[in-house]
């Protein structure tokens, strides 16, 4: 009887391990997603800046009717960084509305779990620097 009980327990443990929920299984180490659509020419600048900052890799830009789509490969964040990290600065002579672009890139990053939070800081002229956690 004891042997049957042990066999049933072993079979139950094996079945539970095989049918474990996805949350218990290992999360993907990286993912590739569309981050967002930005002004013509801006997606490439933002993509290169994100690579230089180390927040993503392999940026790909695809021109569309409304702007350039930026697709990036990154490791999804579940916790904020210990300190803020500078991603890029949008200067007034490079983009029509640097503040709006900074806020959009920051919000897109939060929505896709590239970072957990962001802050746009104004510079000496109407430029905005994107900081993320």
pLDDT of residue 49: 97
Taking the model in full, what pTM does it have? 0.78
Ordered per-residue pLDDT tens for the chain, 133 residues = 555 444 443 444 444 444 445 444 555 689 999 999 999 999 999 999 999 999 999 999 999 999 999 999 999 999 999 999 999 999 888 898 999 999 999 999 999 999 999 999 998 777 999 999 9
DSSP 11-80: HHHHHHHHT--GGGSPPPS-EEEEEEEESTTHHHHHHHHHHHHTS-EEEEEEE-SSSEEEEEEEPPPSS-
User: What does the domain layout of the chain look like in residue ranges?
Assistant: 26-132
Alpha-carbon distance of 105 to 120, in angstroms, equals 10
Alpha-carbon distance of 35 to 108, in angstroms, equals 6
Alpha-carbon distance of 126 to 121, in angstroms, equals 10
Q: Is the dihedral of CA 80, 82, 83, 88 positive or negative?
A: negative
Alpha-carbon distance of 60 to 116, in angstroms, equals 22
- Other beta carbons less than 10 A from residue 40's beta carbon: 12
């Amino acid at each position: 009887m004891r042997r049957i009980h042990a066999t049933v327990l072993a079979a139950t443990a094996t079945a539970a391990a095989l049918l474990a929920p996805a949350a218990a299984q290992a999360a993907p180490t990286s993912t590739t997603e569309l981050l967002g659509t930005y002004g013509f020419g801006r997606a490439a600048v933002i993509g290169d800046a994100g690579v230089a900052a180390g927040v993503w890799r392999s940026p790909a830009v695809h021109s569309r009717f409304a702007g350039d789509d930026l697709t990036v490969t990154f490791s999804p964040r579940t916790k904020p960084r210990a300190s803020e990290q500078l991603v890029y600065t949008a200067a007034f002579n490079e983009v029509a509305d640097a503040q709006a672009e900074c806020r959009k890139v920051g919000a897109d990053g939060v929505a896709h779990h590239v970072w957990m939070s962001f802050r746009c800081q104004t510079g000496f002229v109407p430029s905005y620097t994107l900081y993320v956690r």
